[in-house]
Structure 1
Amino acid sequence: MAGGAGAAVVLSAAAGAPSASADSTRTRVYVVVTDGLRPDEVSAAVTPTLHALRSAGTWYPQARSLPVMETIPNHVMMMTGVRPDRSGVPANAVFDRAGGAVRDLDRPSDLRFPTVIERLNAAGYRTGTVLSKEYLFGIFGTRATYRWEPSPTLPLTNHAPDQLTTDALIAMVERADPDLVFTNLGDIDRVGHSDLTGASTLAAARTAALASTDHQVERFVQHLKETGRWESSVLLVLADHSMDWSVPTRVVSLAPALDADPLLTGRVQVAQNGGADLLYWTGPEGDRAAAVARMREVVGGVAGVLSTHLPPDLRLGPEAGDVVAYCKAGWRFSDPAVWSNPIPGNHGHPATEPIPFFIAGGSRRIAGGQVRAEAARTVDVAPTVGALFGLPAPSGGYDGTSRL
């Protein structure tokens, strides 16, 4: 695919994918994930575009990420509309019992439930993904009709800056004009992992990142307006989680406490997920019940731990292990050692549940200037997208609710 806006952007497409449609009246849906954005950071002063879209559209001030885990599962819930016990993706990192090691859930085969992307393709629609993070591109793979692989990506963060991501988003709309595009803007999240607990220069960097991402959203909205697509467009704008910060002394490492217990030592694996740790019993099956009870007792006594849960109670599925632990606000997990996670910015625990969530756009299908009291969730995105296209619910139904 060549020519059009963003000529340097390389897109890939499914075999036989059609070119852009000339129909200017059909509904176009854009799911825009402002990764790591806190709802209190949307303001007329710093993020005027997001603020204006929120004010003109339908806003859910009580929106939450669900469950309060990591980046990948919340993006998966957006595109499936089901909880992790049905999708198979409970966290970014899990202990792979078969492989005997902790690994990221970043392969297409890790996602076992059909996405709204695939179901729209089967119904004759065209879809696109523009995902800034390598592991998000990894798990969604070639499901969309048109894809952009994040490139170039920054070292350490493994994400493409928002300007490049927006270049690719605009190029995809201009060249292919899909019915649905799913995009992730990662700069706010990546800057958010810096320490904002006392360094004014880093606080300024966070503000700059907010303003920069807002400008990229402005670029995209302006492109839709200039090309006559705005009047047929629906934007679902939300975050996958918000952000919390910890000081160096507020680090929670569970491995030493588990290894100090005679029943548990050498028989528990920990998969760290920022604000959540997943614990896996690897000892004899006959000791599992006693071990799970003991894990919860030991972990519950560690400073900085908020709560422990059984994965089925959170609808996380067997991939999440035997016990889920959440840290308190202002703390972070670091396993297997206290120096394993030096990043102060943190998410995945209840403190980072609140997210921005609003529906905007020029389409007449959008209710303007409304504030809704319902607690919208990340899992509500797929049902909303499905309703916009008249797509039936998947087998077994959605776990989320359409927010139209």
Structure 2
Amino acid sequence: MNPGSRMPGAGSPSRRSVLRSAGALGVVVISAAAGAPLSTAAVGRTRVYVLVTDGCRPDEITAGLTPNLHALREGGTWYPNARSLPVMETIPNHVMMMTGVRPDRSGVPANAVHDRLEGVVRDLDRPTDLRFPTVLERLNAAGHRTGTVLSKAYLYGIFGTRATYRWEPSPLVPGTNHAPDAFTTDALISMVDSVDPDLVFTNLGDIDRVGHSDLTGSVSLDVARSAALGSTDQQVGRFVQHLKDTGRWESSVIVVLADHSMDWSVPTRVISLAPVVEADPLLAGNVVISQNGGADLLYWTGSEAGRADGVARLRQVVEAVPGVLSTHLPADLRLGPEAGDVVAYCKAGWRFSDPAVYSNPIPGNHGHPVTEPIPFFVGGGSRRIAIGQVRTEVARTVDVAPTVGALFGLRAPKGGYDGTSRL
């Protein structure tokens, strides 16, 4: 099933039209809400583009390796102390960007959770998993037009039909389920040319997908990482140049950030908690684990009467395992009940693999504290951007929606933002 087709009611695919335009790499297909207008010129309008360089580390943006990203950073407002949130992977950090609130309010804690109703570990990729209004929907309601160009199939799934216009990622790379950045940028440019939304939210996935390879002992893979960074940077440069060539640059604000960075582990530094938990008489048969690479979410499934003792024992057992950095109660991390009963982080250079040691063969992982640092800067040609500013505040993924909202004069949602505008 197409993940976007799971969202019922107004704005479902059956009530949306399809636009086709020619891109550099072929025909680009964009779906549009029924009755959505085409591009209209407006004097003094602001165009906002959120570009997520998925999995990029802040130290990887340099004048030599990524000159286009570096130029955007140096010509705008840069937050060198920016952070994502641990235990957050791709989906939740993207959700925070578009909602401006933390997971205990949006209902999305990590990429994979144990579904307490269905009794299985599943991925979060359904539109109904997101239970908070996004800036996409709120801008639409205010008379603006929005777009999503998301390279990963599950991101396309969870955001559903919330944007006025959306591109379904294609072609997807087998095994990674993401569209290469060249195709994603082609779709971004085609969307801008054909319908010119006020806000476009874009994920570029190549850096992340190469990042999950093993960079700890292979020169060739290290070269592949550099090549992916350079390639993504070229696509960003291509988009910026297109804005300039089409007269949109002076009205454009570009928010660039990553959803997380990346850490690498060697084969001997793998943590599998399931065997340890099952060896404990109190815990055996009463715990389910959702593995998220740099973090494990542990769920008590035993009796309610035994929960307090079980959780206390679970933390004690897990913290004694080599490679585990710390354990936390989800509420202390502003996570909702979807995140289970205990969150465990691994140390730098380690990874979780559950339920067995071979379950997670991916050396590059994220979701633990060492992968918090991310690039975050606001650039573009608009006069609303502060030029050449370096600000030491700790910007976070949750700050994107307040920043976008401020650019359009949009009120905060009910209950306010958890983030802060970074203009």
Secondary structure of the structure 1 residue equivalent to 2:404: helix
Q: Separation in 2 of the partners of 1:128 and 1:352? A: 28
**1:221 maps to which residue?**
240
C-alpha RMSD over aligned residues: 0.8
Out of 278, 296, 304, the position equivalent to 2:323 is: 304
| Structure 2 residue 66 is the aligned partner of structure 1 residue 47 | yes
Residues in 2 aligned to 1:319 and 1:350: alpha-carbon distance in whole angstroms: 20
TM-score scaled by structure 1? 0.99
Q: CA deviation at 1:198?
A: 1.2
Matched residues in 1 for 2:165 and 2:276: separation?
Answer: 48
Match runs of 1:194-209 below 5 Å: 194-209=213-228
One-letter amino acid of the structure 2 residue matched with residue 265 of structure 1: A
Match status 1:272 vs 2:272: no
SS of the residue 2:231 aligns to: helix
Unaligned runs of 5+ in 1: none
Question: 8 Å contact 1:24–1:229 — kept in the other structure?
Answer: no
Q: Distance in 1 between matches of 2:20 and 2:135?
A: 27
- Which residue, out of 97, 106, 111, partners 1:92? 111
Q: What one-letter code is carried by the residue in structure 2 that aligns with 1:197? A: T
Matched ranges for 1:298-377 at <5 A: 298-377=317-396
SS of alignment partner, residue 285 of structure 1 = coil
Instruction: Please show how residues 1-400 of structure 1 align to structure 2 within 5 Å.
Output: 1-3=19-21, 5=23, 8-23=27-42, 25-400=44-419
* Cα-to-partner distance string for 1:74-106 (whole Å, 9 max, x where unaligned): 000000000000000000000001101000111
Helix, strand or coil for the counterpart of 1:10? strand
TM-score normalised according to structure 2 size: 0.95
SS at match of 1:135: helix
**Alpha-carbon distance between aligned partners in 2 of 1:24 and 1:360, rounded to the nearest angstrom:** 21
Shift of 1:25: 3.1
> Are 1:4 and 1:174, in contact at CA under 8 Å, matched by a contact in 2?
no
- Secondary structure in 1 matching 2:73: helix
Q: In 2 relative to 1, CA 24–204 (structure 1 residues): closer, same or farther, beyond 3 Å?
A: farther
Is the 2:58–2:373 contact (alpha carbons within 8 Å) kept by the matching residues of 1?
yes
Q: Does the aligned pair in 2 maintain the 1:83–1:316 contact within 8 Å? A: yes
The answer on whether the counterparts of 2:87 and 2:292 sit within 8 Å (CA) in structure 1 is: no
Q: Indicate conservation of the 8 Å contact 1:4/1:175, yes or no.
A: no
Letter in 2 for 1:269: V
- Distance (whole Å) between structure 2 residues aligned to residue 13 and residue 24 of structure 1: 24
In structure 2, what is the Cα distance between the partners aligned to 1:324 and 1:344? 21
Maintained 8 Å contact 1:20/1:176: yes
Q: In 2, Cα distance between the equivalents of 1:77 and 1:355? A: 15
The residue identity in structure 2 corresponding to 1:235 is I
Instruction: Output the CA distance in 2 between the equivalents of 1:21 and 1:339.
Output: 54
Secondary structure of 1:9's match? strand
Identity over aligned residues, as a percent?
A: 79
Give the conservation status (yes or no) of the 8 Å contact 2:267–2:363: yes
**Cα distance in 2 for residues equivalent to 1:91 and 1:386:** 25
Equivalent position amino acid for 1:82 in 2: V
Partners of 2:53 and 2:43 lie apart in 1 by: 27
Offset of residue 67 of structure 1: 4.0
CA contact (8 A) 1:5 1:175 kept: no
What is the one-letter code of the residue matched to 2:50?
Answer: V
> Does structure 1 retain, via aligned residues, the 8 Å contact 2:21–2:190?
no
Aligned AA (1:171): S
Asked if the contact 2:86–2:371 (Cα under 8 Å) also holds between the matched residues in 1, the reply is: no
User: In 2, are the aligned partners of 1:279 and 1:322 still within 8 Å (CA)?
Assistant: yes
User: 1:310 and 1:89 mapped to 2: Cα distance?
Assistant: 16
